[in-house]
Homo-oligomer: A and B are copies of this chain.
Amino acid sequence: MSEEDILNPPRGMRDIVGVEAELHEYLADVFRETARRHGFKPIITPTVEYFKLFEMKSGEEIKRSMYVFQDKAGRTLALRPEVTASVVRAYLKEMRALPKPVRLYYVAQCFRYEEPQKARYREFWQGGLEVIGDPDINADASVAFAASSFLEAVGVKHYYVVGNVSTYRVLMDKMGVPGETQDLILHLIDKDRVGDALKVLGGVVTGGHVELFNKLLNSGLDEAPGILREFRLLGEGEQTTLEAELARTREFIDLLNQMGFHAVYEPRLVRGLAYYSGLIFEYKTSEGLTVSIGGGGRYDGLTRVYGGEYEYSTGLALGLDRIALLLSPEKAVPRRSLIVVSILEGVPLKAGYELVKRITSGGLAVIPYRARTVSKALGFANKQGADAVVILGRRELESGVVTVKDMHTGMQSTIEAGDTDALIKLLEKHGGRG
C-alpha cells in the first residue's frame, strides 16, 4: 500500500471533519433530544451481529451488499446493514416483560457494500424510532410526528410518500408465488423496474392476474378496493383485511395532512426491506435530493421470525448523512462563542485554568493558550477564529482583574476576575457580534 493510500479511509467510507462534523453531531444531538421528548428510550445494539440475524429477513439486496466475515472462532458475523433486526432481537431477549408499547430510539452507523455514489456511502448514519406492541395507527402517527418534528427542528422541508405492501403480499400468497420470488418481485418494483417485476410474476401466474396486479400498481386508494374484488382468489375475510389496510393507509395520509405535513399515496412504494408487513412510508424532499431521506412502516410479526410471540410493530429510520447534504453547516449549526484564555508568562497555569473552568460553566467554548506576549495571544486568537480573548498577565493577576478584548471590534475592557457572571455576560456579548 502506498503512502497515499494509507491516508485514505477504505473505499466508500469517509472522514467527517470540520463544519461537516459539527453538522453531523448537531443532527444526531437534535434527533436524540427529539426522540426523548417524544417518549422514546435509547437502545444501543452491537455494530457487529451474527450474519444469520440479517439473513433471515432483510431482503435480497441488503443480503447481497453486507460486509460478512468470520471471527477467529469461525463465527460468521456481519456489520449491521440496518438496526431494526437488532432491536427486535434485543426486545425478545430483554424487554418482553416491559409494559407495551415499548418505544425505542437509536442513532447508529450502518454498512452496505455498494458502489459509492452521491448520497450513498458504505458507512452511513441512521436515526431510528421503533414502537413494539401497539397495533393502533396512533403508533405510526407517533413515530412519524416525532420524525417530522426533528426534520422541522433542523430545517428540512419534507413530504411523505405512503404505500401499503400488504395488498401485494397477500395477493401473491393467494396466487401461490413462493416467498423468495415475492421478495424478488417487490425488490424490482422498489428499483422502479415494474416491467421486469411483472415478467417474473408472469412466470408463475396467469396473464389475467398479472394484468390485475399491474392495475393495482397504477391505481389510487379509491380504485384499489374495486380492483381487489376482481381477484376471485380472495376470500371474504382477506378482502375485508385488505380493505381495512387501505382504509388505514388513507387514515394515516389524512392525519399527516391534517397535522400540516404533506403526504401522498404511491401504489408502487414497496421499500427494500423484506420484513415490512403493511403500511409503509418514505420521506422525500423537493430540494436537492431525489432519493428518500428516510422511511419506515409496519413490521408486525417480525418478532415471530426470531422465535418470539407475534407483536405489532412499527418504526422508521432517517438517513442523517443525506439530511446533512440538504443543509448548510454554517447556517444550520447554532454558533457557540469561542474564547481564548491567554495565560501570559509568569502566570501559573493553574490560575489560567481556574478562569477556563469558570468561563466553560457558562457554556462558552474556551481554548487555554500560553503566550509570551499579548500580541502573540492576539495572533493565535485571530487564527483560531475566536470571538474574544481573555488576557491574564502578571499585572492582571496581582490586581485580581482580567483584560477582555473583543476580536470583532478590537474593543478592550478590564473586568474583575472573580465576577464570573459579569465576565460570561461580557464574553457572550462579544460572541453575539460575530
Interface residues of A (CB under 8 A from B): 1, 3, 5-11, 13-18, 21-22, 24-25, 29, 32, 34, 36-39, 41-50, 52-53, 56, 67, 69-73, 75, 77, 79, 86, 89-90, 92-95, 99, 103, 109, 111, 113, 123, 136-138, 141-142, 145, 149, 255, 258-259, 306-307, 336, 338, 343, 348-350, 353, 356-357, 360, 363-370, 380, 383-384
In the bound complex, what is the Cα–Cα distance between A32 and B77 (angstroms)?
Answer: 31
In the bound complex, what is the Cα–Cα distance between A86 and B16 (angstroms)?
Answer: 11
Q: How far is the CB of A381 from chain B (nearest CB, A)?
A: 10
Other CB < 8 Å A-B pairs besides A39-B338, A99-B384, 18 of them? A5-B50, A7-B89, A8-B93, A10-B50, A11-B75, A13-B46, A15-B44, A15-B89, A21-B42, A24-B42, A39-B367, A39-B368, A47-B111, A48-B111, A138-B349, A138-B369, A141-B353, A142-B367
In the bound complex, what is the Cα–Cα distance between A327 and B15 (angstroms)?
Answer: 33
Q: How far is the CB of A431 from chain B (nearest CB, A)?
A: 13
Q: How far is the CB of A16 from chain B (nearest CB, A)?
A: 4
> A370 to B136, Cβ gap below 8 A?
yes
Residues of B contacting A10 in the complex (Cβ-Cβ under 8 angstroms): 46, 48-50, 71, 75, 77
> B36 to A15, Cβ gap below 8 A?
no
> A360 to B123, Cβ gap below 8 A?
no
Known pairs A75-B11, A138-B369; A350 contacts B258 (CB<8 A) = yes
Known pairs A37-B363, A367-B39; A46 contacts B350 (CB<8 A) = no
* 29 pairs of residues in contact across A and B, judged by CB atoms under 8 Å: A1-B52, A3-B307, A6-B56, A6-B307, A9-B90, A10-B75, A11-B73, A11-B75, A15-B45, A15-B86, A15-B93, A16-B45, A17-B44, A17-B90, A17-B95, A21-B41, A22-B41, A24-B44, A37-B364, A38-B365, A38-B366, A39-B367, A48-B67, A48-B79, A48-B111, A67-B69, A103-B367, A255-B350, A258-B350
In the bound complex, what is the Cα–Cα distance between A369 and B255 (angstroms)?
Answer: 15
Residues of B contacting A364 in the complex (Cβ-Cβ under 8 angstroms): 37
Whose C-beta in chain B lies nearest to the C-beta of A369?
B138
Residues of B contacting A86 in the complex (Cβ-Cβ under 8 angstroms): 9, 15
Whose C-beta in chain B lies nearest to the C-beta of A76?
B1
- Most chain B CB within 10 A, of A3, A48, A69, A94, is at A48
> A7 to B93, Cβ gap below 8 A?
yes
In the bound complex, what is the Cα–Cα distance between A258 and B347 (angstroms)?
Answer: 13
In the bound complex, what is the Cα–Cα distance between A89 and B8 (angstroms)?
Answer: 8
Residues of B contacting A142 in the complex (Cβ-Cβ under 8 angstroms): 367-368
Whose C-beta in chain B lies nearest to the C-beta of A364?
B37
Whose C-beta in chain B lies nearest to the C-beta of A306?
B6
Known pairs A25-B42, A41-B21; A6 contacts B50 (CB<8 A) = yes
> B360 to A6, Cβ gap below 8 A?
no
In the bound complex, what is the Cα–Cα distance between A93 and B38 (angstroms)?
Answer: 40
- Most chain B CB within 10 A, of A6, A22, A93, is at A6
Q: How far is the CB of A284 from chain B (nearest CB, A)?
A: 21
> B43 to A6, Cβ gap below 8 A?
no
Known pairs A52-B6, A360-B37; A109 contacts B47 (CB<8 A) = yes
Residues of B contacting A258 in the complex (Cβ-Cβ under 8 angstroms): 348, 350
Whose C-beta in chain B lies nearest to the C-beta of A90?
B15
In the bound complex, what is the Cα–Cα distance between A70 and B69 (angstroms)?
Answer: 7
- Most chain B CB within 10 A, of A43, A46, A73, A95, is at A46
> A360 to B44, Cβ gap below 8 A?
no
Q: How far is the CB of A336 from chain B (nearest CB, A)?
A: 7
> A123 to B48, Cβ gap below 8 A?
yes
Q: How far is the CB of A380 from chain B (nearest CB, A)?
A: 8
**9 residue pairs, one from A and one from B, having the closest CB atoms:** A69-B69, A39-B367, A99-B383, A16-B44, A13-B46, A3-B307, A15-B90, A37-B360, A21-B42
Whose C-beta in chain B lies nearest to the C-beta of A305?
B6
> A7 to B307, Cβ gap below 8 A?
yes
Residues of B contacting A32 in the complex (Cβ-Cβ under 8 angstroms): 25, 29
In the bound complex, what is the Cα–Cα distance between A46 and B47 (angstroms)?
Answer: 12
- Most chain B CB within 10 A, of A10, A32, A72, A79, is at A10
